[in-house]
Structure 1
Amino acid sequence: MERSRRSQLAHAHHPIAAPLDDDAVRRLIGRAVTRDGARLLDLGCGQAEWLIRALEAHPGATAVGVDIAGNALAEARAQADARGVGDRLELLEASAADFTSDRPFDVVISVGAVHAFGGLLPTLATAREHLAPGGSVLVGDAYFLTDPTPEAVEMLGDYEDLATTVENIAADGWAPVYGHLSTRHELDDYEWYWTGSLAEWALDHPDDPDSAAALEASAVHRTEWLRGYRDCFGFHTLVLRPTKG
């Protein structure tokens, strides 16, 4: 089953595509986007839910979303048009790491997409290239709540604990001005949505060529979560401002 299709189906009922509830998303957008005329950029935007919600909250803002998944961008376009912000949202099917622009952005977003840049600090380095003076970066990524098992590291990657993660960000020339740590409810809710939405689609579409693969992917992911990384996985979403050029 093609990865971008699986991701779109798994996020059908949770389009923010990260373990955050609506109140957390609203607060983070409010702290990152501080004026209505802001220019926003989401690198690895998926279905562009962060941008759509920001545009809904800030009628004078404009936004650009970049992603390699054409199916996700098609859904983003449909949602943006249906919710009345389509005329202020530009969507580009391209590599987020290779995106260029001749104008800077007041807010650069990359939540759950740092793999596209090779890690958190490379993501921030790319964001810095696009950031206007006085701008903010809204970034979200994993960290380890407790010492992970070797199996968890193999599944997720070699993350740091929260304190080390924030220290590395600060040493790289960034000041956190706001942050959210996903709660146990948010983390579990996200996984139930991911696995459940995929299984639900498979059961509702038994004749689709991807049905069996989707059901298997749901089951495998659920086991990896419950047996492998549930107790050690955390997720931070931070609003950052540069302390140096």
Structure 2
Amino acid sequence: MLSAEEFATLRHARMRWNTPLSEEHAALLLQRLEVRSGVRVLDLGCGWGELLLRAVAGGAGAAGVGVDTDEAALVRGRALAASRSLGDRVRFVREEAAAWREPADRVLCVGAAHAFGGTVGALDALAGVVRPGGRLLFGDACWEAAPGGAAVRIFGDAVLPLAELVEQVRVAGWRVLHLSTADLREWDDFESTWRAGRQEWLLEHPEDSRAAEVRGELDVRLREYVGAYRGVLGMAYLVLGR
């Protein structure tokens, strides 16, 4: 039987990264981020740091640090770094993203605006950790279509329409070097892989004492996705400079 810690890792077991993003889209974003030789890369809310590792690997002599509060994700990140011979170039630190003060040349903050109190707070705070002439990859949820009541109940009223998100970026003093959004295939893959680790476990252990709770959670999530926010909730990826 899986321990509680091992069971918790099933949530992300089949995920490449914890955001709706294809391999091709990720490569484009990292190209726009321009991780050059010798730069320092910072990932705030890094999870297990897949994007960070790829960013550092793409720049000769680049080094990076990933910051998150999820120790299990950080352990996974360290193992990935070691397996790619990046252990001496990338370190993972357990700390609140909003508490980090060391600046970097390239900063990633994808799906972690909540750590700064929301979109506006994140855009303001991140200006303090991007070195002059640096770039920020900022990923944030947005409404790509008018949400119904169910979607608002799930995600709250802090999510901005895409146009308002872009306006907040401008007001915060950032310039948009690149803008793209996740498409439906990326969202479908994200939602499917978020469920997949536990779905597979459930099929193999239908009589486990935890099965009913897991089945219920997965069923609710799938109903909410297809019935409330598929094609409505978006994810915007912006490469920004100041």
Same fold (TM over 0.5): yes
Q: 1:116 to 1:207 in 2, by over 3 A?
A: farther
Q: SS in structure 1 opposite 2:132?
A: strand
Give, in angstroms, the shift of residue 203 of structure 1.
3.4
Q: Report if the CA contact (8 A) 2:142-2:161 is conserved.
A: yes
1:150 is aligned to 149
Aligned-partner Cα distance in 2 for 1:237–1:4 = 32
Which digits, 9 at most, give the CA deviation of each residue in 1:49-102, with x for residues without a partner?
11111122223110011100000000001111001111111111111111232x
Which digits, 9 at most, give the CA deviation of each residue in 1:170-207, with x for residues without a partner?
11111110122111111111111112233113434568
1:160 is aligned to 160
Give, in angstroms, the shift of residue 213 of structure 1.
3.4
1:111 is aligned to 110
Task: Report how many residues are paired.
Answer: 239
Give, in angstroms, the shift of residue 233 of structure 1.
1.1
Q: Residue 29 in 1 paired to residue 30 in 2? A: yes
19-28 or 160-169: bigger deviation = 160-169
One-letter code aligned to 2:120: L
Q: SS in structure 2 opposite 1:35?
A: coil
Q: 1:114 to 1:5 in 2, by over 3 A?
A: farther
Aligned-partner Cα distance in 2 for 1:209–1:44 = 33
Aligned-partner Cα distance in 1 for 2:109–2:208 = 33
Aligned-partner Cα distance in 2 for 1:178–1:140 = 12
Gaps of 5+ in 1: none
- Aligned-pair identity (%): 37
1:80 is aligned to 81
Q: 1:34 to 1:69 in 2, by over 3 A?
A: closer
2:119 is aligned to 120
CA RMSD of aligned residues (A): 2.2
Under a length normalisation based on structure 2, what TM-score does the superposition of the two structures give?
A: 0.91
1:184 is aligned to 184
Aligned-partner Cα distance in 2 for 1:43–1:58 = 19
Q: 1:56 to 1:128 in 2, by over 3 A?
A: same
Q: Report if the CA contact (8 A) 2:101-2:128 is conserved.
A: no
1:13 is aligned to 14
Which digits, 9 at most, give the CA deviation of each residue in 1:119-162, with x for residues without a partner?
11211222111111100110111111111111111101222221
1:219 is aligned to 219
One-letter code aligned to 1:89: V
